[in-house]
Structure 1
Amino acid sequence: MNIAVFASHGGSDLQAIIDGCKSGKVNSKVKLVISNNSNSMALQRAENEGILGYHISQKVIPDNGKLDNKILSILDENEIDMIFLAGYLKMLGTSVLQKYSNRIFNIHPALLPKYGGKGMYGMNVHKAVIEAREKISGVTIHRVNEKYDSGEIVAQAEVPVMPNDTPEELAARVLEREHSFLIEVVNDIISGNIKLGE
């Protein structure tokens, strides 16, 4: 299967998928990377690995319709089977969501439906989890629809919250689990345990 990864910043989840493919743990290929941030580490990681990388944002293409069409044409040209949003901080357009319905997955650093929605990303999530005195956090992988973090949950992994955790300590522990969990879930998709949309 050909995978496209969308990422806005560091791209460590992207690297986990790339490494899984290279090592043979995942029988797929990361065919391209799209970022809405020209300075993202994700684009640098793509370049380092010889993977096609694209900076597509409203700075480059101000018109939303044209921006969506550009994304669609790149996905089509590269025969993409599934899309992973790995810290991609922009809502995908309706035409992309429709064309790839049930084949777009997002990685969220908490156990949805808690701590999801607009503005709930990165350190904001971990701060909220600690402020609520949760004992368990984790990783959620869900399908993407028109509303932030509300698509069907396909898999979750729990990560304990330690009594004296800082948001940064919790974030590091969750991210470590994200990397291994991603590989498990991608394999479940490839094997058909998690169905892709038609």
Structure 2
Amino acid sequence: MTDAVAQSRGRAVGRSGGLIGIGVLVSGGGTNLQAILDACARGEIPGRVVVVASTTAKAYALVRARQAGVPAVVLAPWSFPDRQTYDARLAEVLQAHDVDLICLAGFLRILTAAFVDRFRGRIMNIHPALLPAFGGVGMYGPHVHETVLASGAKISGCTVHFVDETPDGGPIILQAAVPVQDDDSVESLAARIAEQEHHLYPEAIRLFAGGRLQMNGKRVRITRDAAELVPS
């Protein structure tokens, strides 16, 4: 597993050169997993999905993994005595598959601080709204879009961010804005945002794979190329 590289101007995360191994954590349909698989297959991401882990055997994302020939495992939370034991087993699975980057794609669990610290700078999540607004505990699925519509906000969108100990509070990598229409329903807004998610997540992974993300506290700088990260 590739270690992040510390630089004097901030911490460079990702790697430059070679294919990265991607582990995707899921709990549902896996449309973002499919977008990642497709981007890898087209050569847009210099990497491949090496394992998919789901919280439930009912997740359609597991079907997508099987169709792509990707190993998939089910780690049901109820079969573990506590969150720490669950995350320790999850870490074992990811390390066994030489995962460089962990991507949360509709993964309905909050990772423990120990897990986050172990893989800091190597865990991404995508959120169906513009953070830091409309995020945090309980803000997932249709409830996010319900809250956006109820607020009267004119712009929503999606956010890819690194995961830290705060739900939806990690350093922001990329965002895409989606205008809220006057006649939007939860379903119509969610559908338009999902279209943007399926472009944004692969792009964030591509930047990580190219060693072009530099994290300094809560800020993420996108460099033109990995060479910029080397102090002169």
Q: TM-score, normalised on structure 2?
A: 0.81
CA distance in structure 2 between the aligned counterparts of 1:175 and 1:4, rounded to whole angstroms? 21
Alignment counterpart, residue 92 of structure 1, candidates 103, 107, 111: 111
- Shift of the 45–196 alpha-carbon distance from structure 1 to 2, 3 Å rule, reads farther
CA distance in structure 1 between the aligned counterparts of 2:27 and 2:37, rounded to whole angstroms? 16
Structure 2 equivalent of residue 130 of structure 1: 149
CA contact (8 A) 1:103 1:196 kept: no
CA distance in structure 2 between the aligned counterparts of 1:57 and 1:51, rounded to whole angstroms? 19
Alignment counterpart, residue 143 of structure 1, candidates 125, 141, 162: 162
Structure 2 equivalent of residue 112 of structure 1: 131
Structure 2 residue 43 is matched with structure 1 residue 24: yes
* Larger deviation, residues 89-98 vs 71-80: 89-98
* Larger deviation, residues 140-149 vs 11-20: 140-149
Structure 2 residue 152 is matched with structure 1 residue 152: no
Structure 2: runs of 5+ lacking an equivalent:
1-19, 217-232
Identity of aligned residues (%): 39
* 1:37 aligned counterpart, secondary structure: coil
CA distance in structure 1 between the aligned counterparts of 2:67 and 2:78, rounded to whole angstroms? 24
Structure 2 equivalent of residue 9 of structure 1: 28
Structure 2 equivalent of residue 183 of structure 1: 202
CA distance in structure 2 between the aligned counterparts of 1:72 and 1:178, rounded to whole angstroms? 26
CA distance in structure 2 between the aligned counterparts of 1:117 and 1:106, rounded to whole angstroms? 13
Structure 1: runs of 5+ lacking an equivalent:
none
Structure 2 equivalent of residue 64 of structure 1: 83
* 2:79 aligned counterpart, secondary structure: coil
CA contact (8 A) 1:4 1:82 kept: yes
CA distance in structure 2 between the aligned counterparts of 1:46 and 1:61, rounded to whole angstroms? 24
CA contact (8 A) 1:9 1:40 kept: yes
Alignment counterpart, residue 192 of structure 1, candidates 206, 211, 217: 211
* 1:59 aligned counterpart, secondary structure: helix
Give 1:23's aligned amino acid. R
Q: TM-score, normalised on structure 1?
A: 0.95
CA distance in structure 2 between the aligned counterparts of 1:101 and 1:158, rounded to whole angstroms? 27
Alignment counterpart, residue 38 of structure 1, candidates 57, 60, 66: 57
CA contact (8 A) 1:189 1:195 kept: no
Post-superposition offset of 1:63: 3.4
CA distance in structure 2 between the aligned counterparts of 1:50 and 1:157, rounded to whole angstroms? 31
Provide Cα deviations, 1:17-50, integer angstroms capped at 9, x if missing partner: 0000011111110001111111001112111111
Give structure 1 regions of 4+ aligned residues with deviation exceeding 6 angstroms: none
CA distance in structure 1 between the aligned counterparts of 2:169 and 2:65, rounded to whole angstroms? 29
CA distance in structure 1 between the aligned counterparts of 2:84 and 2:210, rounded to whole angstroms? 35
Alignment counterpart, residue 92 of structure 2, candidates 46, 50, 73: 73
Post-superposition offset of 1:57: 2.2
Higher relative contact order (CA 8 A, sep 6+): 2
